[in-house]
Amino acid sequence: METHRLKEAGLLTSAVVTKELGLSATTLRRLEGKLFEPVPRQGKRQMRVFTSEQVEVLREALWEKTRLGSKPELVGLSRWRVG
């Protein structure tokens, strides 16, 4: 129920973000505070929540600042915005 409430509020949990970006949960946690600002936590389980805008910023940061940007063959380009 908690994730349903967050989804209705337009927020994405880290599980959704990891699937969308093709990252593991561990990688997303490690990048927090390094590649992107720490995100708020909500609910009883203190889940990390993202807005769709934050996900786009993260997607672009991954593209520009990690080896994925110079090696696009490592990930499916259908998940990445090109251009």
Domain ranges of the chain: 2-79
Residue 36's pLDDT is 83
Q: By the 8 A CB rule, do 77 and 69 touch? A: no
Give residues with Cβ within 8 angstroms of 60, minimum separation 6.
81
C-beta neighbour count of 17 within 10 angstroms? 21
2-79: CATH, from 1.10.1660.10, 3.40.710.10, 3.40.50.10420, 3.30.70.890:
1.10.1660.10
How far apart CA 33 and CA 31 sit, in angstroms, is 6
Provide the pLDDT confidence category of residue 77 given band limits of 50, 70 and 90: very low
pLDDT tens digits, one per residue of 21-74: 888 999 898 888 888 888 888 878 888 899 989 899 888 888 877 665 555 555
pTM of the model: 0.68
